[in-house]
Structure 1
Amino acid sequence: MTIALTFFLVRRAAVVLGTLCEVKTGIFLRLNVWAKLIHECAEVVRAPRLRDEHYSISVRHAVASVYGARAMRGTAGVSSWRRRAEMRKHALRVADALRAAEAQLDVDPREGAREIARLAMSISSRYAEGRVGALLDRDDLDRAPAAEGRFEAAQLTMTACAISGLALASPALGLPVQVTVATSVAVVALIYRNTIFTGLGAVGFLYPLFFPGK
């Protein structure tokens, strides 16, 4: 919990200071994430023959950049709660559209790559213009089914707390590493359920921090 709270406070402080000091470099760094995704899609479309790596395009980082766009761009003040709430809803729908396009990669890789690139181009262009509440058109949003769960931040916080608890309890109880790892996976499975692979990715990131050298 302490780590999650510290991360949130540091992130908010960086955004506020950046806005007050008009630091534009950090604001536009996320454009590089979307540009990289467009480049990966272009590689798929123009490839004469598809290889295994062409099927591994992921919108994970692009989605994370969309989630943080409303805070980083600074177009709505800290006190503009209603505007920020609307932008958050829009960001969630934009994430749904990106994930729906990503799913097309399993059906038609080239067509899926074209759709992802088209969406990423719109998102990056409108973010640069400050149109954080209209990163995609309504038609693009309506075509994508809404995700069932909206608990990514809560799930990550719960995972961090669970792993930190295991890190503290493991030496005291004398648990071997194998048991600790199995317990971690079981806990993550309960937290993430049908999105277990996302949870395992979080475990892979957090585990070295809590269990260095193991």
Structure 2
Amino acid sequence: MTQSRQRQADLVIREMNDALPALGVSVRPSGRTRVMIRRYYATAPGTWRALSSLFLIFFIPLLLLRAYIELVDAILRLFNDPPFDLKSSDFTLTATWETVSSVNLVKFAGITALALTALSVAAVFLTGIGMIISEVLRIQWNRLRGNPANKYHLASQSAKIIHLAAQAYRRPLGSMAQQEILGSLASALQFMYDEILHISDTSTAVHRRLSRRRELRKHHLKVIAVLQKKEAAIDVDVRAALPQLAETLAGIANAYSEGRIGQLLPAAEIDHVTPVEIVKREHFRMVAIAVLLGGLSVLVALLNLPSTATTSLIGAIGITVASMIYGRKARQGMDVLDSIRGIQRPG
């Protein structure tokens, strides 16, 4: 760790140690929490890495998109000028059989093999492009956000919020300075909620298919509900709510740094709490369904199928897309699908 980063980590730890007594909180950051904060600043990306990540986010997808456009253009040119005389308007079984029977079978078999090979390569290539773009965007977005997938970030984020709480606590009640700090605190808490939700995703001890992952996520949703309740109390009594919020965050940071990811808060504090319902990114799901269904509908229309077959195929594609995007909440996706198709069900 460089000296500048070491000084930055020391500053964050010192601010946290000063903030807790100023708020009247008896809990102190444990040694493991302090070590976790130092490790976060030792591994967090610097300015140049963040700028390079920003460049890669735009450059690599554009480069792959250009390659995809060239591939599609080559396929379209092949169909517009096929190696044998068969027009798209004559694409019927009779016309196809007449064309096939009039050409050299060896030549036709070779061309068919090449076409199938090209389609297979295109399918693999496009799948690879999608996977690469998805992975690049995920990695680079994590870096730009301060490496939130880094398992040390939660402790650093807790220290930041506690420091903001102490700053707001010292300001005059209702002053503009206090309101600005509370606004920054609210934004920092949103990142904190994301960090808690990502614990089960970033933990190497909890795989996605393990049954205990559901219970772990349920616990984390309860922890977020507790934090949101304490955050809402700021609007009622700032001076009473901020110390309680800081104490809860310090306890979460200490528990997390000790590896107790399934007990971030004592059971007595969360057993009676209803897990918060995450409705985040709902608008992205709706846009994804609309774009995918619209694009696939255009492709289906190009097949020149009978109207009944086209309607059934588009419906099947819509159900598949909605089920893939919404998962267990596929029923909610069906409602979005009906809205896209202009169907309104009776209440």
Report what 1:161 is aligned to.
288
For the Cα contact (< 8 Å) 1:55–1:109, is it kept in 2? Answer: no
SS at match of 1:117: helix
Amino acid in the other structure paired with 2:191: H
* Normalised TM-score (structure 2): 0.37
Picking from 131, 142, 160, the partner of 2:260 is: 131
Shift of 1:143: 5.8
- Structure 1 residues 31 and 164: CA distance shift in structure 2, 3 A: farther
Matches within 5 A, 1:133-152: 133-142=262-271, 144-147=273-276, 149-152=277-280
For the Cα contact (< 8 Å) 2:196–2:224, is it kept in 1? Answer: yes
Shift of 1:62: 1.0
- Structure 1 residues 74 and 42: CA distance shift in structure 2, 3 A: farther
1:7-58: CA deviation from partner (whole Å, max 9, x where unpaired): 69946xx9xxxxxxxxxx9221232111111111111223354522244231
- Structure 1 residues 130 and 75: CA distance shift in structure 2, 3 A: farther
The CA distance in 2 between the partners of 1:136 and 1:160, in whole Å, is: 37
Matches within 5 A, 1:48-197: 48-51=172-175, 52-56=179-183, 57-58=185-186, 59-78=189-208, 81-142=210-271, 144-147=273-276, 149-152=277-280, 155=282, 157-158=284-285, 161=288
For the Cα contact (< 8 Å) 1:100–1:145, is it kept in 2? Answer: no
Amino acid in the other structure paired with 2:228: R
- Structure 1 residues 161 and 105: CA distance shift in structure 2, 3 A: same
1:126-173: CA deviation from partner (whole Å, max 9, x where unpaired): 1111110000112222464543x33335x15415527968xx9xxxxx
- Structure 1 residues 133 and 103: CA distance shift in structure 2, 3 A: same
* Normalised TM-score (structure 1): 0.58
For the Cα contact (< 8 Å) 1:73–1:130, is it kept in 2? Answer: no
CA RMSD of aligned residues (A): 3.3
Report what 2:134 is aligned to.
6
Shift of 1:114: 1.3
- Structure 1 residues 145 and 55: CA distance shift in structure 2, 3 A: farther
2:40 matched to 1:40?
A: no
- Structure 1 residues 164 and 90: CA distance shift in structure 2, 3 A: same
Amino acid in the other structure paired with 2:269: D
Q: Mind listing any 5+ residue stretches in structure 2 that lack a counterpart?
A: 1-129, 143-148, 296-347
Larger radius of gyration: 2
1:173-213: CA deviation from partner (whole Å, max 9, x where unpaired): xxxxxxxxxxxxxxxxxxxxxxxxxxxxxxxxxxxxxxxxx
The CA distance in 1 between the partners of 2:244 and 2:287, in whole Å, is: 34
For the Cα contact (< 8 Å) 2:219–2:275, is it kept in 1? Answer: no
Shift of 1:115: 1.7
Identical residues among aligned pairs (%): 23
- Structure 1 residues 104 and 86: CA distance shift in structure 2, 3 A: same
- Structure 1 residues 85 and 77: CA distance shift in structure 2, 3 A: same
SS at match of 1:26: coil
Q: Mind listing any 5+ residue stretches in structure 1 that lack a counterpart?
A: 15-24, 169-214
The CA distance in 2 between the partners of 1:8 and 1:92, in whole Å, is: 28
The more displaced of 44-53 and 123-132 is 44-53
